[in-house]
Amino acid sequence: MSLARNAPALLPGGNIRRLLAKWIIALIIPLLVFTFWAGEAIINTVVSPATAPSAVPTDVGSLIQSALFAAVVYLVVIALAGYVVATDSGRDRFWKTWLDVAIFALVPLILIIFAGQFAGENALILGLALSVVVWGIYFLIRNLIQRRLPAASKPSKQDISPVADLPPSVVRQRAVLGSFWFAVALDVIWLVIDLVYFFSGQIGLTILIWVIVRTLLLPILGYAMGRFAEAYIMWRANRAMAAKGTNGTGGAKNGQKEAINANPGSSNGLARARARIMNDLPLRSAGAQRFMLTLLIVFLLFYPAIDPFLFGSGLDGRLSGYGDAGYYVILALGLNIVVGFAGLLDLGYVAFFAIGSYVWGFVGSSQFTVITGIQTNLHVVSWLFWPMLIVTALIAAFWGVLLGAPTLRLRGDYLAIVTLGFGEIVPVVFLEMDKYTNGSNGIVGVQPPAFPGANWNTSTPYYYLILALIVLVIFANLRLRDSRLGRAWVAIREDEIAAASSGVNLVNTKLFAFAAGAFFSGLAGMYHAAKLGVVSPDNFSFGDSVIYLAMVVIGGIGSIPGVIVGALVVYSLNEFLLPNLDAAMNTPGSVLYPFHQAITSVIPGFAFENIRNLIFGVLLIIIMLFRPEGLIPSARRRRELHREEQDEVEIGALDVNPGAPGFESEIHVE
Amino acid sequence: MTTFLQELVVGISTGAIYALIALGYTMVYGIIELINFAHGDIFMIGTLVAIVIMNAFGVNANTQLAGFPLVGIMLVTCIGTMLACAVLGLVIERVAYRPLRNAPRLAPLITAIGVSLILEDAGKLWKGVSIVSFPQIFPLINYSIGPITINSVNILVLVVSVVLMIALQLLVTRTRIGRAMRAVAQDREAAALMGVNVDFVISFTFFIGAALAGAAGFIYGLQYGNTFFYIGFQLGLIAFTAAVLGGIGNIVGAMLGGLVVGIIQSLASLIPGSVLPHGGAAWSEAIIFAILVLILVFRPSGLLGQQTPEKV
């Protein structure tokens, strides 16, 4: 009997059934789409390599990687199901949850699958870029509708039960039930479909055995992941209570309900809400975001192993494309420091990129012998790539300081022009000093890096290298942003005179901003030189500087996830969308061909490639006029620019204690 | 020595064109403290519009004209170009700059870059990516004054520029609207309190500045005989340097700055290849830009400007 009391009953009661229905339906549809697109193929290949599709490698290493990937994906999603069922406070309606999940999980999946069919080469990035567009349109429409509708009635106090209000046993029950029944639902649907496959002869006996094993295993895993989710929730709740426990006034649990319905206009209510509420909108809470981040990291790490299941052959070309996208991301992050954090409009960013490329071009090729007369062994030079990463970046940073120094006393407009001038001049210098730089012929034969066991003629090592570099750069940016220097940058951006009066050393801080931006640009330049193998002045032009600025602006000035997304969107627009549109327009059979005839009769020179700058110009103007904070704004920016639209307690900020890194606190003066 | 003087003449001629473009930059900056990145591209569109107007009269690269038709067509083209560019400037101000007048400093700069990109691509779509020839209808007669040669087109350029600059100076100093422009440039809110329609004055400033750029486009085409979709960007940067050199916000300064920059650019081509690889001509952009940096470092207010402390 005591066992029965402690073990939660596995049959849900009344209102839990509604929660289960809501979340299981919401989460299972994307997971099923993924399963029947690629997940089934991955698992079947692991179980029985004989059933692998043609392009898939079946060596043990790949199989283990694929197995790990599949296991993590399904376990994380099952745990997520438990988490969201447990932490749901009932504030969101069914349809809103389903719509949210459909837009944010289902739409990208479908777009990627769709893109895979007509542009198998670049399906992932193209699909993601298209989904970003869809999200933008969805937000726009949602905002418009929300402004038109009368204020939605809030659910009454009795109907909301935030997770901190619940006793631990109820939390455990909900988490376990959520995971368990999600796993069971997945199990049943999968079993039925696999039985259909089996009886129609499409899968063999070995797979059937696996199906039966899986059917028995999944509910157990569901229960286990439910307990895991519950443990996670309790851990976070205890941490939040402990941090705020000494400051809380009165019962924390009573305060929560009161705080949800507190008048948002008064800072007191907001402050109390922030002190107590653990976020009660599950999908947007920090906990759920950690699940999704785990999924993303696993996906990125194991991507080369699972790509053949998703898109067929052509892995090398795709990885090369991701490598290029990667250095754009690093450039965007570096420019984000100068433009976003410090507010210094830098239009000549390509200069530091060129410097980084040329430094490795000098050192890492036979040009070194031409310049200095010292013979080098090129294979040994490849090993120098790793120390040269830091050295090149430091050289670029040094030039950042040099080029930034004359601009220190200038205001924003002059600074833009001067940096624009530098961005023009540096490539010209490299072009004209052809005794050292080989002029317009460029430097060829630039060595790739050397790493034991990696074949640098393929793209896979470059993919992992850029992933590692991006992780380091993101880490550096986060630390910089939340450091004293980062706050000094923000102070300068907002009001220089006030910052100077508060003791910020303007000169040093601005120089450091230029140096930091140039540092990351140098890194990207060196990677680019090593990957491409050739350094020539044609690669660096003012147009590139504008593209980097567009990445930062479209993504969200000053926001780290924003500029990453901006970089990927702009890259895919640049590299994939426009040339593919051109190709589509020129093939007679396609939908766009008649338009091509019509347009070229009026404008002879028309091609989508030619109007790339036009599209960017229009995008920049539209973003500046209607959404200046960009696609994914930094929290500070969003508050700045849409102050009058704050009508509900902010979601994302509530999980983090004010004052902790990442909160970006603001002082309310009433 | 003769080469030196000859280059001086060429420099003054180019400098006059730079001065006309610089005037647009300086006026807009004086009035709303915005660097109009798109101004150089308005100049480029002006050259293309002039070509279109002349083609509409049946004038192409080989036409010879004289006397009355010549003067007539030139007047019509010049005024047409100026009007078209002025309207373009008005539209740009209305669409891209006015909504952002109260936004943080970065926003109108970015829209200005956006407009510049759009205009460049419009020029590319309109007339293609290669050099477009401009009908040089003004008869080319060379006059020799001592050792140097001046041709009639140079004189035309100088005459047109001087006339326009004098007209502008009279407009700004002697008329009501000019006084309103100076008032808005000095203190926008006080001017509004005094009954000046600030929006109208700012639009008018853009109108005049763009009209001058259009005129500059016309005479640029007459002098050089060709145009290219990218010249807006290139000349824009040089003209901005001229505006800063003379003191931004100062109209006489822009004229002076234009002349100085033109002269420096021509004299730079005299630098031999032994001093700079490939000779001074390839480095002229770098030299002009270096001048810009030096001015901004040592005398940011320019030659004729006043040092204004930044107020809290």
* Nearest partner of A426 among A479, A350, A531, judged by Cα: A350
Q: Do B312 and A497 touch (CB under 8 A)?
A: yes
Q: What is the pLDDT of residue A162?
A: 63
Using CA atoms, how far apart are residues B152 and B148, in angstroms rounded to an integer?
13
| A413, A434, A628 ranked by CB distance to B35: nearest | A413
* Nearest partner of A106 among A30, A17, A7, A211, judged by Cα: A30
Using CA atoms, how far apart are residues A56 and A59, in angstroms rounded to an integer?
9
Using CA atoms, how far apart are residues A371 and A385, in angstroms rounded to an integer?
19
Mutate: best of A341, A347, A410, A414, partner B, most B CBs <10 A: A414
Using CA atoms, how far apart are residues A80 and A282, in angstroms rounded to an integer?
10
pLDDT tens digits along A132-181? 888 888 888 887 887 777 665 555 555 556 666 677 777 788 888 888 88
A306, A71 contact by CB (below 8 A): no
Mean pLDDT across A376-402: 89
Q: Do A620 and B282 touch (CB under 8 A)?
A: no
Q: Do B117 and A432 touch (CB under 8 A)?
A: no
Q: How far is CA A62 from CA A167, A223, A307, in A?
A: 45, 30, 11
Q: What is the pLDDT of residue A90?
A: 67
Q: Do A613 and B118 touch (CB under 8 A)?
A: yes
Using CA atoms, how far apart are residues A76 and A292, in angstroms rounded to an integer?
8
A190, A121 contact by CB (below 8 A): no
Q: Do A428 and B117 touch (CB under 8 A)?
A: no
One-character DSSP codes across A426-481: HHHHHHH-HHHH-GGG-EE-PPPP--TT--TTSSHHHHHHHHHHHHHHHHHHHHHH
Q: Is the pLDDT of residue A101 over 80?
A: yes
Where does the pLDDT of residue A477 fall: very low under 50, low under 70, confident under 90, or very high at 90 and above?
Answer: very high
The residue of chain A nearest to residue B280, with distances taken between CA atoms, is A432
* Nearest partner of A347 among A552, A619, A528, A616, judged by Cα: A552
Least reliable range by pLDDT among A76-80, A250-254, A566-570, B11-15: A250-254
Q: What is the pLDDT of residue B298?
A: 82
The residue of chain A nearest to residue B101, with distances taken between CA atoms, is A625
Using CA atoms, how far apart are residues A309 and A199, in angstroms rounded to an integer?
24
Q: State the total domains in chain B.
A: 1
Phi-psi region of A280 (alpha: psi -120 to 50; beta: other; left: phi over 0): alpha
Q: Do A417 and B113 touch (CB under 8 A)?
A: no
B309 located within any domain:
no
Using CA atoms, how far apart are residues B285 and B274, in angstroms rounded to an integer?
18
Q: Is the pLDDT of residue A28 over 60?
A: yes
Higher pLDDT, A284 or A357: A357
B292 to chain A: which residues are within 8 Å by CB? 417-418, 421
- Domain locations along chain A: 2-91+155-304, 314-541
Beta-bridge mates of residue B149: B144
Q: What is the pLDDT of residue A164?
A: 62
pLDDT tens digits along A229-275? 888 888 877 776 666 554 444 344 444 444 444 444 444 544 444 44
Would you give the DSSP letter of residue A150? P
Size of interface A-B (CB pairs under 8 A): 134
Q: What is the pLDDT of residue B45?
A: 94
CA distance A502 to chain B (A): 14
DSSP-derived pairing of the beta strands A534-535 and A443-444: antiparallel
B303 located within any domain:
no
Q: Do B285 and A549 touch (CB under 8 A)?
A: no
Helix, strand, coil percentages in chain A from 3-state DSSP, rounded to 5: 75, 0, 25
CA dihedral of residues A26, A28, A31, A32 (deg, nearest 10): -130
Q: What is the pLDDT of residue A157?
A: 53
Q: Is the pLDDT of residue A471 over 90?
A: yes
Mean pLDDT across A595-617: 76
Using CA atoms, how far apart are residues B288 and B281, in angstroms rounded to an integer?
11
Q: What is the pLDDT of residue A330?
A: 96
CATH of the domain at B146: 1.10.3470
B263, B15 contact by CB (below 8 A): yes
Token pair in block for residue A285 = 């809470």
Q: What is the pLDDT of residue A654?
A: 45
Token pair in block for residue A273 = 């809400």
Neighbours of A57 (CB within 10 A): 15
Using CA atoms, how far apart are residues A400 and A393, in angstroms rounded to an integer?
10
B145 located within any domain:
yes
Residue numbers of the domain that contains B276: 2-298
Who contacts A584 (Cβ-Cβ below 8 Å, separation ≥6)? A590, A591, A592
Using CA atoms, how far apart are residues A385 and A392, in angstroms rounded to an integer?
10
Q: How far is CA A636 from CA A55, A268, A506, A604, B101, in A?
A: 47, 20, 22, 47, 22
B307 located within any domain:
no
Positions of chain B with pLDDT under 70: 61-62, 279-280, 306-312
Neighbours of A475 (CB within 10 A): 10
Using CA atoms, how far apart are residues A661 and A646, in angstroms rounded to an integer?
23
Q: What is the pLDDT of residue A526?
A: 93
pLDDT tens digits along A482-517? 899 999 999 998 888 899 999 999 999 999 999 999
| Signed CA dihedral, A529, A530, A532, A536: sign only | positive
